[in-house]
Chains A and B, each alone.
Chain A
Amino acid sequence: MNLHEFQAREILRRHGIPVPDGEVVTTPTAARAAAERLGGAVVVKAQVHAGGRGKAGGVKLAANPVEAEAVAGRILGMQIKGLTVHKVLVAPAAEIASESYVGIIVDRVSQRPVLMVSAAGGIDIEEVATRTPEKIHRLAIDPRYGLLAHQALGLGFALYRDVAPARAAAAIMQKLYAAAYDAGASLAEINPLITTPDGKVVALDAKIAVDDNELERRPEIAALRDTTAEAPSEVQAREAGLTFIKLEGTVGCCVNGAGLAMATMDLVKYYGGDPANFLDIGGSSNPQKVVSALQIISADTSVRAILFNIFGGITRCDDVANGIVQATGQFSLTIPIVIRLTGTNEQEAVRILTNAGFSALTDMDEAVKQAVAAVKGAAA
């Protein structure tokens, strides 16, 4: 789960990292009031779960409260990478002497949290990482001891020549490491970490992505979820216990297991179709999950055929069959449906489906071919 910038800033502030003031608002008039309280020039920043906000026009300076209102009016409601901006952060415009980057991720290769810092921070950090990777310093941290003071200071000197800002940056790194474990973050970054003309080191922007597996034991973090910032179909799927990602194609896919779901989408493509979605109904699928899955898939008007691909293990094929029959009793499907199921309770499932007037296949390749052909037939 991604946090908004203002939420990430608040977590850093609670851990003692210097963060400028700021207010989150949802209307232009509130932006003006916030700018009046903050005084002086402000920056108005779109709060959306998308990178490249600045380049998309979602971050603007305003010299005074009247300008802040006008700028907020332009940013609120704008679309950035398909997401609508509902909130903006109003913060004092900082005077920047230098910009660097500090981030922590869990690294798959070393199997440890890795701290990455670069004196070349700012909006082009991805480019720095690809073009001049030597400008990024990395340190794998042993979680049994945490980030040790001398390690942090060493990286502080990689950012700044003078001892005072190096020490300040080192303290921020240790606090960021603590904040990452505290929030259950898979990514925690400050970009840019700036120095001001009077020599202070300040976190100007922050990004935290929380490991979804942490949310159950961290209700205070789970409560930060902003469903207005997510695609409605994905919110609906999550609430039904499904994993769903909408794509651009026409073959709706309903599969058990993430790997098989991806392989099914790939096979749709192989036979000349385009998958409309990734949907994993998960392990122990009760019929209700299947009903929800069919609702979500059939609500997408670009879907021309639905493909079920179930390999029963923990998932029982008869549960899936019952779900399909229940769903089609509740709402009428106007598009063709191709069902493949094999494995646990396969025969029972075939009986249920046959009695309800459906046919079922046992072969994945054949089912995908039929689903793609059904879409092409509908288009002809």
Chain B
Amino acid sequence: MSIFVSKDTRLLIQGITGRDGSFHARQMLAYGTTVVAGVTPGKGGQTFEGTVPVFDTVADAVRETRANASVIYVPAPFAASAIFEAADARLPLVVCITEGVPVLDMTKVIPFVREQGTRLIGPNCPGLISPGQSKVGIIPGNICQPGAIGVVSRSGTLTYEIIHQLSTQGYGQSTCVGIGGDPLIGTNFIDCLAAFEADPETRAVVLIGEIGGSDEQQAAEFVKAKMQKPVVGFIAGQTAPPGRRMGHAGAIISGAGGTAADKMQALERAGIAVMKRPVDVVPLLRERRVQSPSRGNRC
């Protein structure tokens, strides 16, 4: 099992013929993701790599292929429009990889996707992967192993670092979700924590946060009140100066509560084991008596 994506995911790729979209479409196909359609306006009727039909609109693609998820690689000025289109076609899952989507665009996108019943992941995120089943986005498949650890993170390469620590020490993952580093995102920590708590295959969760906002504090309260499964946390940005944006649009210490120290305290108060270094992840899981899964558990 897994959360959000699985063997049953029938993926549509918006921007499949673009530079990034085509590169990652090939990676996802090679991983074994069921890619059923691509969308690029004006290129309807073509096929991608001889196997994936390309459509002019998301509505056409959904009607013809029964796609049930979309991943978006279109450039930032068109990304909000692509999310609107996917949600308008009532796709249950939309993953927006695109970086640089204006926040004011997202103030209009988010109420729309909620009303349509679409789960949006991102924008400005690496996407998600259920190892051995489906990869939707850009997380490198070769660093992941099927298993029982759920991973949820606001960052990209830092997530890879932690997945790498897990996989090389025998801790496979049920699903790894990169929720994105922007201030306004479709799916937050709590959504993922709730899904991992309900997923029978997930035994423990690794939560990777960073400075800015108060999402980690809210996640901590949720863990304390609603979760039975052990959670291990990491917060990046202890050395970040206040008032400066550290790369991610959301990673800025502004006002009280946004510092790494505040967030680490909030996690610890909720009973979450907090890593001081990325290499601490497996020792902390062992401390919480989370065993690496038996060999028979591989997908």
Contact = CB atoms under 8 A, between A and B. Distances in A.
Interface of A: 106, 108-109, 111-113, 130, 142-144, 180-181, 184-186, 211-214, 216-217, 243, 245, 247, 255-263, 265-270, 275, 278, 280, 283, 311-315, 342-344, 364-365
A162 B247 CA distance: 46
Nearest to B112: A144
Given A109-B214, A266-B239, A259 B103 contact: no
A213 B102 contact: yes
A212 B248 CA distance: 11
Contacts of A142: 111
A113 B183 CA distance: 12
A227 B278 CA distance: 37
B240 interface: yes
Interface in B177-208: 181, 183-184, 208
29 contacts: A108-B183, A111-B110, A211-B249, A212-B249, A213-B102, A213-B103, A216-B77, A243-B247, A245-B244, A256-B157, A257-B155, A259-B156, A260-B161, A262-B211, A262-B238, A262-B240, A262-B251, A266-B236, A266-B237, A278-B240, A278-B244, A280-B247, A311-B164, A313-B156, A313-B157, A313-B160, A343-B140, A343-B160, A344-B140
Contacts, number: 158
Interface string B153-183: 1111111110010000000000000000101
What is the predominant secondary structure among interface residues of chain A facing chain B?
mixed
Contacts of A259: 153-159, 181, 208, 210, 236, 247-248, 251
Given A262-B237, A262-B239, A266-B239, A213 B101 contact: yes
Interface in B120-151: 126, 138-140, 143
Contacts of B99: 283
Given A213-B101, A258-B246, A265-B239, 5 more contacts: A213-B249, A245-B246, A259-B247, A266-B260, A283-B99
B299 interface: no
Interface of B: 76-77, 99-104, 106-108, 110-111, 126, 138-140, 143, 153-161, 164, 181, 183-184, 208, 210-211, 213-215, 234, 236-241, 244, 246-251, 256, 260, 276-279
Contacts of B260: 266
B241 A257 contact: no
Contacts of B214: 108-109
